[in-house]
């Protein structure tokens, strides 16, 4: 099945008429896929060097994120601040056949595909899959969804709905200030946290079984601050990735262990930070073979108006993004350094040039 890609500017909203259920009727504001609060909190998952119509493409795990305006009926609903502070519109389907920037392309579409591919919209007591972008069916780029991709997406939706329903039925959700604390921590009680993690693991196992790709996560916290450990599986069945990420607002520290089919292993340490004028990250990868360190790679990236000095050249205040990579091949003592620009005032750095 073919599904049109979704872009950062695509407007999405619940159907019908932006209406959801939050302990009663509620109307939510339509938002672009690249929603600024969600972008700042790293809930948006978008390509960085792959474009369609000069826009970034939505990837797996994308969430428009927090602070989507809601209007409840009646207007005096005391939980309204919580609904807004922890809003969500998540992409639940992705193509195991097509990747961009190392991640599967996210999929959602209401028209064109034989089966509607919904987003999962926040709700209370239960979130529902009734969100869609409005016009992505007009795009000219599409990706393929296998039967396994579709089944995995609907299983993920069903597991989240089941978890929320059981938490409501068993009285595991807290209210008032305790409810706010629970949202920040990701669960009201240890029982609720364990239930959510177990259902998430079952959903992850279902995706791996259906597509030979997927990940298992254990996490504590919310989009405002989160600690997560994950084990990822690739389609070849041999190359596996274990990852630990620590998030605090728009800052992230991470470690990843990659076991490659050829017998080599990689250890990656990453750090990233976002600011009002730009963002930056650093990644160091050590590659081992036969128990020896054979290569060390350090990559630094920066984007936004703050990028005006580059180690390989003079200041360039027009730079939108820059990347610098240094590689040391330990056994042969060979050293290489590369530098790439995108959005620079230099002749080779016009907007949209891949790094």
Higher pLDDT: 303 or 80? It is 80
Decide: helix, strand or coil at residue 12: strand
Q: Give 262's contacts (C-beta < 8 A, 6+ positions apart).
A: none
CA dist 205 and 201 (Å) reads: 6
Long-range contacts, 291-296 (Cβ 8 Å, 24+): 292/330, 292/331, 293/330, 294/264, 294/329, 294/330, 294/331, 295/327, 295/328, 295/329, 295/330, 296/327, 296/328, 296/330
Least reliable range by pLDDT among 10-24, 65-79, 103-117, 220-234: 220-234
Q: Give 237's contacts (C-beta < 8 A, 6+ positions apart).
A: 212
CB atoms within 10 A of CB 114: 9
Q: Look up residue 61 and give its two tokens.
A: 């795990």
CA dist 182 and 179 (Å) reads: 5
Q: Quickly state the pLDDT bin for 211 (edges 50, 70, 90).
A: very high
Q: How far is CA 125 from CA 16, 18, 102, 246, 343, in A?
A: 19, 18, 35, 29, 46
Model-level pTM?
A: 0.78
CA dist 215 and 112 (Å) reads: 29
The predicted pLDDT at position 311 comes to 47
340, pLDDT greater than 60: no
- Residue 291 φ then ψ, to 5°: 80, 5
> Taking residues 20-49, what's their average pLDDT?
93
CA dist 329 and 4 (Å) reads: 42
Count of CA atoms in the C-beta half-sphere (13 A) of 203: 22
DSSP one-letter code for 346: S
CB atoms within 10 A of CB 194: 12
CA dist 161 and 170 (Å) reads: 14
157-185 pLDDT per residue, tens:
999 999 999 998 888 776 666 777 788 88
182-195 pLDDT per residue, tens:
888 888 888 899 99
81-116 pLDDT per residue, tens:
999 999 999 999 999 989 998 899 999 999 877 889
- Token pair 């028209």: residue: 111
Closest by Cα among 287, 276, 292, 290 to 328? 287
> Which H or E element spans position 3?
strand 2-4
Q: Look up residue 46 and give its two tokens.
A: 């978008």
Task: Transcribe 104-129 into DSSP letters.
Answer: EEEE-BSSSSSS-B-EEE--BS--EE
245-301 pLDDT per residue, tens:
887 767 888 999 998 888 899 999 999 887 666 678 899 999 998 888 888 888 887
């Amino acid at each position: 099945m073919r599904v049109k890609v979704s872009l950062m500017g695509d407007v999405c909203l619940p159907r019908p008429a932006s209406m959801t259920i939050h302990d009663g009727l509620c109307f939510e504001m339509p938002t672009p896929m690249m929603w600024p609060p969600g972008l700042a909190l790293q809930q948006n998952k978008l390509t960085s060097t792959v474009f369609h119509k000069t826009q970034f493409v939505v990837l797996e795990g994308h969430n428009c994120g927090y602070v989507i305006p809601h209007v409840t009926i009646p207007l005096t609903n005391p939980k309204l601040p919580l609904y807004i502070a922890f809003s969500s519109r998540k992409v639940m389907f992705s193509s195991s056949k097509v990747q961009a920037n190392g991640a599967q392309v996210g999929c959602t579409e209401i028209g064109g595909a034989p089966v509607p591919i919904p987003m999962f919209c926040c709700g209370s007591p239960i979130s529902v899959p009734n969100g869609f972008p409005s016009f992505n069916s007009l795009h000219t780029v599409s990706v393929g969804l296998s039967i396994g991709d579709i089944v995995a997406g609907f299983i993920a939706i069903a597991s989240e709905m089941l978890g929320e329903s059981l938490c409501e039925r068993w009285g595991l959700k807290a209210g008032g200030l305790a409810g706010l604390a629970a949202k920040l921590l990701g669960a009201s009680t240890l029982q609720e946290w364990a239930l959510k993690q177990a259902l998430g693991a079952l959903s992850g196992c279902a995706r791996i079984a259906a597509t030979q790709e997927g990940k298992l996560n254990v996490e504590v916290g919310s989009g405002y601050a989160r600690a997560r450990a994950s084990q990822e599986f690739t389609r070849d069945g041999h190359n596996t990735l274990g990852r630990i990420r620590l998030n605090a607002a728009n800052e992230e520290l991470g470690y990843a262990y990659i076991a490659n089919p050829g017998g080599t292993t990689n250890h990656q340490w990453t750090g990233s930070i976002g600011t009002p004028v730009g963002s930056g990250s650093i990644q160091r990868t050590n590659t081992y073979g036969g128990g020896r360190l054979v290569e060390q790679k350090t990559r630094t990236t920066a984007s936004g108006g703050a990028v005006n000095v580059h180690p390989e050249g003079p200041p360039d205040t027009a730079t939108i993004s820059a990347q610098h990579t240094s590689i040391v091949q330990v056994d042969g003592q060979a050293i290489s350094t590369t530098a790439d620009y995108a959005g620079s005032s230099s002749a080779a750095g016009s907007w949209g040039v891949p790094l």
